[in-house]
């Protein structure tokens, strides 16, 4: 039986984030969310593609880019990742979509359907430097009505990286995915970095095309770039715009938020927790 219940998780100043505790897993309390069991039981097709990210790592952006590369079409609609966001909407919402589907989640692999591993479907993970993720997450959570968060930045950072808030700590997420790749060498995983896509979107799109096994012309790639700028997506994606997904979309905004003390604290914590992780993150471009 499901043990899901709503909890108010305090930050370091006592302000709370309304969340769902589903058998020990903290996530947003989405009104139609299927819960961990619901996600686990989703039927996976052989040609499904998983887009796995820690929240605020560029999921909406990469969903749109991947969708256009996959279909070979420039799509001007308001569909976003939330259409197939597994912990957000019940399976019925995307069960009838044409293949290949792009399924999205911020959950750890162990909470995804077993067939992701069994069927060895293609997985794209997008990682973003944790300092910009923290700033993006803070701003987003404050605007997300169902979280009811009114806290201050100074009280947010520590509990975020201690893994006390929804989706747990960024570090645990990144380490977990590195482990999944190591223990499942035959699972096709493409790891992208938000900063690399910002730096050279065409180069990264070529990598995605190769991974998906599709060929697209330079002219098409250039059109995808134009259709997935912040401005273009802000205009097209009405629902996401309303919940303030499209904020700044840059690299290095953390410098406007982190105090010297917070930065030193974070760098120390990163060194302690990520010693065995050889991924290199870019904090500026």
Nearer to ligand A3P, 57 or 83 (CB): 57
Rounded to the nearest 5°, which phi and psi values hold at 10? -80, 145
Nearer to ligand A3P, 153 or 246 (CB): 246
* Farthest CA pair distance, the chain: 53
**Range list of β-strands (E), the chain:** 5-10, 16-22, 25-27, 49-53, 102-105, 122-127, 189-193
**Helix, coil or strand: residue 27:** strand
Q: State how beta strands 49-53 and 122-127 pair.
A: parallel
Which residue shows structure tokens 């430097």? 129
**Range list of β-strands (E), 188-255:** 189-193
Nearer to ligand A3P, 60 or 101 (CB): 60
- Residue of 159, 168, 140 lying closest to 16 (CA atoms): 159
CB of 69 to ligand A3P, least distance (A): 14
**Residue 263 region by backbone torsions, left for phi larger than 0, else alpha for psi between -120 and 50, else beta:** alpha
Spatial separation of the C-alpha atoms in residues 132 and 239, rounded to whole Å? 23
Nearer to ligand A3P, 61 or 94 (CB): 61
Which sequence positions are flagged as catalytic?
106
Nearer to ligand A3P, 117 or 281 (CB): 281
Spatial separation of the C-alpha atoms in residues 103 and 85, rounded to whole Å? 6
Applying CB under 6 A, the residues found at the interface with ligand A3P are 53, 55-61, 132, 136, 139, 228-230, 233, 245-249, 253
CB of 133 to ligand A3P, least distance (A): 8
What are residue 123's DSSP bridge partners?
A: 50, 189
Nearer to ligand A3P, 89 or 117 (CB): 89
Spatial separation of the C-alpha atoms in residues 271 and 268, rounded to whole Å? 5
CB of 183 to ligand A3P, least distance (A): 25
CB of 54 to ligand A3P, least distance (A): 8
CB of 3 to ligand A3P, least distance (A): 28
CB of 1 to ligand A3P, least distance (A): 32
CA dihedral for 265, 271, 273, 279, sign (positive or negative): positive
């Amino acid at each position: 039986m499901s043990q899901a219940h709503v909890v108010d998780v305090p930050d370091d100043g006592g302000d709370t984030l309304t969340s769902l505790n589903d058998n020990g897993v903290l996530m947003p309390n989405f009104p139609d969310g299927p819960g961990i069991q619901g996600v686990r039981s989703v039927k996976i097709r052989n040609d499904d593609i998983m887009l796995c990210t820690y929240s605020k790592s560029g999921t909406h952006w990469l969903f749109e880019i991947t969708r256009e590369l996959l279909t070979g079409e420039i799509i001007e609609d308001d569909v976003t990742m939330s259409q197939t966001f597994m912990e957000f909407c019940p399976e019925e919402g995307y069960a009838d979509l044409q293949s290949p589907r792009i399924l999205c989640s911020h959950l750890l692999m162990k909470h995804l359907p077993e067939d992701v591993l069994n069927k060895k479907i293609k997985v794209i993970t997008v990682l973003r430097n944790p300092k910009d993720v923290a700033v993006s997450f803070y701003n987003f959570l404050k605007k997300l009505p169902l979280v009811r968060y009114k806290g201050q930045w100074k009280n947010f950072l520590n509990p975020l990286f201690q893994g006390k808030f929804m989706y747990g700590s960024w570090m645990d997420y990144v380490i977990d995915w590195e482990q999944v790749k190591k223990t499942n060498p035959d699972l096709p995983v493409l790891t992208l970095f938000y900063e690399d896509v910002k730096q050279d979107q065409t180069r990264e799109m070529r990598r995605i095309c190769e991974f998906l096994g599709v060929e697209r012309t330079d002219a098409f790639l250039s059109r995808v770039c134009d259709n997935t700028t912040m401005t273009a997506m802000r205009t097209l994606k009405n629902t996401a715009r309303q919940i303030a997904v499209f904020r700044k979309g840059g690299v290095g905004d953390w410098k406007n938020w982190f105090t010297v003390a917070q930065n030193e604290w974070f760098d120390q914590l990163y060194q302690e927790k990520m010693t065995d992780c050889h991924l290199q993150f870019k904090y500026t471009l």
